[in-house]
Structure 1
Amino acid sequence: MDEVSTTALGMARVRAAESERPDGLFDDPWAARFCAAAPDQVPGGERTPLSMSFAFHAIIRTRFYDDYLLTAGCRQVVLLAAGLDSRAYRLDWPAGVSLYELDLPKVLAFKESVLADAEPRCTRAVVPADFRTDWAKALQDNGFRPQEPTAWLAEGLLIYLTPQDADRLLTTVTTLSAQSSRIAFERGDRSYQDQATNSPSMQRYSALWKGGLDRPASQWLTDHGWRPTEHDLGPVAASYGRPLRKEASSGFVTASRGASR
């Protein structure tokens, strides 16, 4: 896998460690298998304050998006840059859900090799795609139906895109979204990005960051016909029994298209 994709193994390491906790916020039994399949490419588990904050955010993010997807009320789910996400296998999906995983061909090939003997809990389609090309056609060629409501997830993706590419991606998503569709992604935290850029322990990640949206997420969504709701990291973490030790400005945004839910 390339360097961008290797960062997915870093997230898998974080999810594997969380899954071992007796009070874990989720159970991802495949995370450890991904790491074991490519041990030389798994980023180290440095325990600097910044890297621990990054891992904490990833853990809360995972659980938050788990809850978002299961309560979105959409039978069509699209994971943009799915990476080593195993939600198709570990979440208790309602009947009739079709889940589409999009990512680079090398990432998906590695993932399929590890999950070869696993059974998804929903109808799952794997869509090799490059978000700089016509990924919408590839998605529809695999059975996606733009006339039906969709729950979209862009977990940890936008920061790796330039402002122009992030805008283009979300514009395409909007075009493909029927009324009552949902979307979720991270709300940008410029101060954290600046700290990470100057931290040796975070350079594997921050060296690949390209900024993402060049305006507040809620503003972009509102301007494009979505109804956004912001979720600060602190209250979300506290609701899961993991209160922050110090205040943070990061968080998430979810939005609905058309009639609010």
Structure 2
Amino acid sequence: MARGRKGCSVTTGQQWDIVTSVGLTALGVAAARALETHREDRLISDPYAAAFVKAADAPAPMPTSPAEVAALPEDSIWAQAKMEDYMGVRSRCFDDFFLEAGQAGIQQAVILASGLDARAQRLDWAAGTTVFEIDQPKVLEFKQTVLDGLDAAPKCAHRPVAIDLRENWSAALTEAGFDPSKPTAWLAEGLLPYLPKEAEQQLLETIDRLSAPGSRLAVEDFANVGQIFEDENIADFGKEWGLDMRELLHSDDRPEAPDVLRGFGWKTEVEGSEAKAARYGRDLSGLFGQMTHASRFVEAHKPE
């Protein structure tokens, strides 16, 4: 059993759909990607994000256009947070990661806790690439239903793996056709803060065990997620969605992910989100901009 910051328990068999618990946060991220797609200076284009939000019938407003944001009360979190700024930077960072991995000859990719980002459908993958997506069964089922309704075809060999990461996901991944002898591009986006210390360590150990030399890993990491949510304005972020983010995120002390990976022999590069945003010409503002002191992007390479 894992416990959150205030003692919220998550048992191994517990699942969520797209409008409850962590699934609802994935829906919020999809709404932010839809808003980013409307910008003239957009960093990404996600033509499916708005459809996910509309199909979900969320219990709280999830605007997908500037007009919908403008129609909300001025004190709405969507007007204050400017979540799309950060999510645009984050999504672009990891889109670039996969495209660069493909250019380097890596033809196997694994997206951990993939949520509602339809990278298999929206990215131009290198020829011969197989993309594995791991997430809760109900989340993947919902996503595929919406994509089927849009006739959205993947631009790669696409293999969803419906399993909870707290279960034996490595076996399920292998059964789905994953080949540990081939270099792999791994992504852990918006994932680590939801894992307790032991689960994060096990996740990184499993990635290392399954990674052939030449593999790459991209991680969204937070130096101290607990400190972020000591700010009451940020702590209130999930209230419009009926969530207390402090109940979902783990702030226990733990070894930093780049240090763990270096201990396994990986070469790592770390860039803060503010510096990454500057390279993309984006100024992070709003409540999400206050996260930049702790948020960072890690890219790691397993030497050949």
TM-score of the superposed pair, with normalisation by structure 1: 0.91
1:197–1:207 contact (8 Å) kept in structure 2: no
1:60 maps to what in 2? 89
How far is 1:44 from its partner? 4.6
Q: Which amino acid aligns with 1:90?
A: R
Aligned to 2:183: 149
Give the corresponding residue for 1:218: 258
Unaligned runs of 5+ in 2: 1-16, 64-75
Q: CA deviation at 1:243?
A: 3.0
**1:188 positional shift:** 1.1
Pairing partner for 1:15 from 27, 33, 53: 33
Structure 1 pair 21/48, CA: closer, same or farther in 2 (3 Å)?
closer
Shift of 1:193: 3.9
After TM superposition, the runs of 4+ consecutive aligned structure 1 residues lying more than 6 A away are none
Q: Is the 8 A contact 1:18 1:24 kept in 2?
A: yes
Q: 198, 219, 222: which one pairs with 1:164?
A: 198
Asked if residue 40 in structure 1 is aligned to residue 58 in structure 2, the reply is yes
Q: Distance in 1 between matches of 2:283 and 2:116?
A: 27
Cα RMSD for the two superposed structures: 2.1
User: Which of 227, 231, 237 matches 1:201?
Assistant: 237
Larger RCO (CA within 8 A; separation ≥ 6)? 2
Give the Cα separation in 2 of the matches to 1:106 and 1:128.
8
> Deviations for 1:115-174, whole angstroms, at most 9, x for unmatched residues?
112100111001011111111110011110000000000100111010001111111111
Where does residue 228 of structure 1 map in the other structure? 268
TM-score, structure 2 normalization? 0.79
Q: Deviations over 1:64-120 (max 9, x none)?
A: 000011102311000000010111111111101100000010101101110112100
Shift, 1:196, TM fit: 6.5
**CA offsets, 1:3-27, max 9 Å, x none?**
1111110000000010011211111
Unaligned runs of 5+ in 1: none
**Are the aligned partners of 2:36 and 2:85 in contact in 1 as well (CA < 8 Å)?**
no
The correspondence of residues 1-261 of structure 1 with structure 2, limited to 5 A, is: 1=17, 2-41=20-59, 44=62, 46-47=76-77, 51-52=81-82, 54-72=83-101, 73=104, 74-116=106-148, 117-190=151-224, 191-195=227-231, 199-203=235-239, 204=243, 205-211=245-251, 214-244=254-284, 248-249=292-293, 250-259=295-304
| Deviations, residues 24-66 of structure 1 (Å, cap 9, x unaligned) | 11110100000010122466563478733x5432221101000
Look up the match of 2:13: none
Deviation at 1:216, TM superposition (A): 1.7
In the alignment, residue 253 of structure 1 is paired with which amino acid? V
Q: Which amino acid aligns with 1:123?
A: A
Whether the 8 Å contact between 1:161 and 1:211 is mirrored in structure 2 is no
Amino acid at match of 2:114: A
- SS, match of residue 199 in structure 1: helix
Aligned partners of 2:228 and 2:234 also within 8 Å: no
Give the drift of 1:233. Answer: 1.3
Q: How many residues in Structure 1 have an aligned counterpart in Structure 2? A: 258
> Shift in Å at residue 244 of structure 1?
4.0
Change (3 A) 1:106 1:118: same
Paired letter, 2:255: R
Aligned to 2:14: none
* Alpha carbons of structure 1 residues 157 and 50: separation in structure 2 relative to 1, 3 Å: farther
Deviation of residue 187 (structure 1)?
2.2
Q: Is the 8 A contact 1:76 1:148 kept in 2?
A: yes
Give the Cα separation in 2 of the matches to 1:180 and 1:196.
43
